[in-house]
Structure 1
Amino acid sequence: MYPFIRLAAQSLRAHRLPDLPLDGTHVSHHLCLPWDLDPFLELNNGRTLTLYDLGRIPLAHRVGLIGALRDNGWGLTMAGACVRYRRRVRLFDRLEMRSRALCWDARFIYLEQSIWRRDGECAGHILYRAAVTDENGIVGTERVLQALGQPGETRDIPEWVARWIAAEDARPWPPMQD
């Protein structure tokens, strides 16, 4: 089941924090609970993606994106993700999550999130390609930035992100069915 109560608690906390620029970092804290575990008593890989929601949605509140979505009748979708799992997370481990918009181009905002254990080790890292949408498809980031009152410039895309974008562009779609 989706952790709606945890999301509401994180969102309430975010409302009490100051606004952030689009490239600001939102820091949140989480606890690995029994229903987050897999059969090996570690944080489930699918639940990890859900926990990233608990950092990403409050980030969207703090940068003003949720308000812009509401005001313009827009939606938000994740158009791709690349995740790394590097350290185990076990029951009742306390975690710090760092979430930020890393860069953007004409169509997508690239979001970076990381989960850090209390011992200072990075447990995981994810890069998302996010798109704002309306009834006609993807809303260009220039329009989104204008709605946020942000400068309309694109961001320099780090080389590792550019390589991921190129790899995604080379990936066949739709996938083979045999």
Structure 2
Amino acid sequence: MFTCWVLAGALGAVLFLYSLIDVHYFLRMFFTVIFAKFCKKPAHILDETTIYGLCTLNDIDTLLYHMNNARYLRELDFARADFYERTSLYREICSQGNGVVQGAATIRYRRFLKPFTMYKVTSKIICWDSESIFMEHKLITPYDNFVRAIAICRQRVLNCNAEAVMAALLERGVKQNGTVDGITQVTHVRPQMTEEVAKWLESNDISSANLRGPQNVQVITTN
């Protein structure tokens, strides 16, 4: 009888948790970070990292034949967590400031993912300024190497300078690579902002101006 009550209590606790929070999300995030920290090699801040996923029945939309559009953006959270951990980006930001938030994101869907299709998400930094770090993510199916979706995300750093954060990580990468037994150290060139990103930022600025509304509007009256 006692065992039945224990099992019923455990089941009730699980149901209660699932009713309050997205348990799968937090569990997967936890294991993503642990796996990146202990099972994967560290990556240079300008390297491209990769995680893998599978489109399950939890991911499909109401039409029941492809991944829900929102799930693509959700997958980017796990890809960024893997990237942050392997490159020490998040630790460096926190050592200089108070963290990082997603400032903006745009995604282009090119071809849908069917249920039970395996995919990979690649992540890399494409440029940065004093306030933000810009990342590009690609969701690719390995069997045909087709880019199913591509996203650009703006990571705003809080109470620190993104230039200083990147400079510290780039310097650390040079020291770690170094020159050993006559082998020339690996160098990474800072990427320039592409026209695509520049135009995207311009559209964001236009959107911000529209949301703020007209300023200093002069009203002209006639007699």
TM-score normalised by the chain length of structure 1? 0.85
For CA contacts below 8 A with separation 6 or more, give which structure has more relative contact order: 1
Shift of 1:170: 2.0
Structure 1 residue 154: Cα displacement: 6.3
What residue ranges of structure 1 are gaps of 5+ in the alignment? none
SS in 2 for 1:174: helix
Q: Hey, what does 1:174 align to over in structure 2?
A: 211
State whether structure 2 residue 152 is matched by structure 1 residue 127: yes
Give the deviation of 1:142 after TM superposition: 2.2
Q: Deviations over 1:82-108 (max 9, x none)?
A: 100111112111001101111111211
Identity between Structure 1 and Structure 2 (%):
25
Higher helix share: 2
Query: Which residue of 180, 188, 200 corresponds with 1:164?
Result: 200
Question: Which residue identity is paired with 2:206?
Answer: A
**Aligned equivalent of 1:38, options 61, 69, 81:** 61
For these two proteins, the number of residue pairs brought into alignment is: 171
Q: What amino acid maps onto 1:167 in structure 2?
A: S
**Greater share of residues in strand:** 1
Mapping of residues 14-93 of structure 1, within 5 Å: 14-15=36-37, 16-41=39-64, 42-72=66-96, 74-93=98-117
Distance 1:6 1:166 in 2: 35
Q: What do residues 106-155 of structure 1 show as CA deviations (whole Å, max 9, x unaligned)?
A: 21110000101132221101000111113xxxx2212322553548x964
CA distance in 2, matches of 1:114, 1:78: 17
What amino acid is the match of 1:30?
Answer: G
Q: Which sections of structure 2, spanning at least 5 residues, go unmatched?
A: 1-21, 173-188, 214-223
Q: Following TM superposition, where does structure 1 have runs of at least 4 consecutive aligned residues deviating by more than 3 angstroms?
A: 69-73, 146-151
Question: Whole-Å Cα distance in 2 between the matches of residues 73 and 105 of structure 1?
Answer: 16
C-alpha RMSD of matched pairs (Å): 2.1
Looking at CA atoms only, which structure, 1 or 2, has the larger radius of gyration? Answer: 2
TM-score, normalised to structure 2, is: 0.69
Kindly state the Cα deviation for residue 77 of structure 1 after the two structures are TM-superposed: 0.6
